[in-house]
Amino acid sequence: MPLQRTVWRGEEISDPEIEFAWDDGVRKTAIASSSLLIDDSGSVFGAVAYFTDITEQKLTKEKLGHTNKVVEGINRILMHSLTCETEEELDQICLNVCQELTESQYGFIAEINPAGYLVNIAISNSGWTHCQMQMPSSGGRILRRGIVHGVYGRVLIDGKSLFANNPALHPDSIGIPEGRPPVNAFLGTPLIHNGKTIGTIGLANREGGYREEGIETVLILIIFICLSAS
């Protein structure tokens, strides 16, 4: 701590950021300063330290930075919608943007086909790297077909976004099939057209888990993903 460093080493500390965390989950950021107390004869008789709470300023700065990244992501989607030669290529770009802005390790975009099965139309490269199962393909677009169930199925059934930072304990969990990558945290948002859920974007394994901000980010991106596909 700054005060101890000042007392023990005689250092004058100015403006290092310190993170404070309480047992109830509250976190604060402060700037710390400390200096020696010296009397008229030049002798040290103590030290003083003070802290300035900058939590709100730091959060505002982080939100502004994230907003700028979202705008860049939107521009990237719209730009590629004009240059991509195939739907598959554009789907992959959209997924990559969602994955990057939510700091997810991997993800997928899937749609419900006329038979009622969930069909992947894009999956992140890191997802392929982790996955050891053989996936069927059809026309370069269908990567996997599955029944609508599990945690991601809840997104489709309810037509609502959700995140689970311990998916194994979620009531709808069906476990992880052999050969699939581990899922330590999951965020899913529905794709809705004319009031009907037609698919989902699933993202997984953000370090530290997901928060409501992640859902808000993906919902904003979905507006422009749908616009780019129209």
The set of long-range contacts for 11-14, using a CB threshold of 8 Å and a minimum separation of 24, is 12/36, 13/49
Which CATH architecture is the domain 69-229 placed in?
2-Layer Sandwich (3.30)
Residue 209, Cβ density class (10 Å: 0-12 exposed, 13-18 middle, ≥19 buried): middle
The boundaries of every CATH 3.30.450.40 domain in the chain are: 69-229
Q: What's the topology of domain 2-53?
A: Beta-Lactamase (3.30.450)
Question: Other CB atoms closer than 10 Å to residue 122's CB: what's the count?
Answer: 23
DSSP count for the chain of H helices, then E strands? 6, 9
Residue 11 has what DSSP assignment?
P
Q: Could you tell me the two tokens for 125? A: 């490269």
The residue-averaged pLDDT of 63-76 equals 92
Is residue 152 within a helix (H) or strand (E), and if so which, with residue range? helix 150-158
**What amino acid occupies position 75?**
N
Contact 3, 34 (CB under 8 A): yes
What is the distance, to the nearest Å, from the Cα of residue 43 to the centroid of all Cα atoms in its chain?
54
Q: Do 128 and 136 touch, CB atoms closer than 8 A?
A: no
For the stretch 103-159, pLDDT in tens is 999 999 999 888 888 888 898 876 555 554 444 444 444 445 566 778 888 999 999
Start and end residues for every CATH 3.30.450.20 domain found in the chain: 2-53
- Mean pLDDT check: name the lowest of 9-13, 79-83, 99-103, 216-220: 9-13
pLDDT digits (tens, 9 = 90+) for 192-229: 988 899 999 999 999 999 999 999 999 999 998 888 77
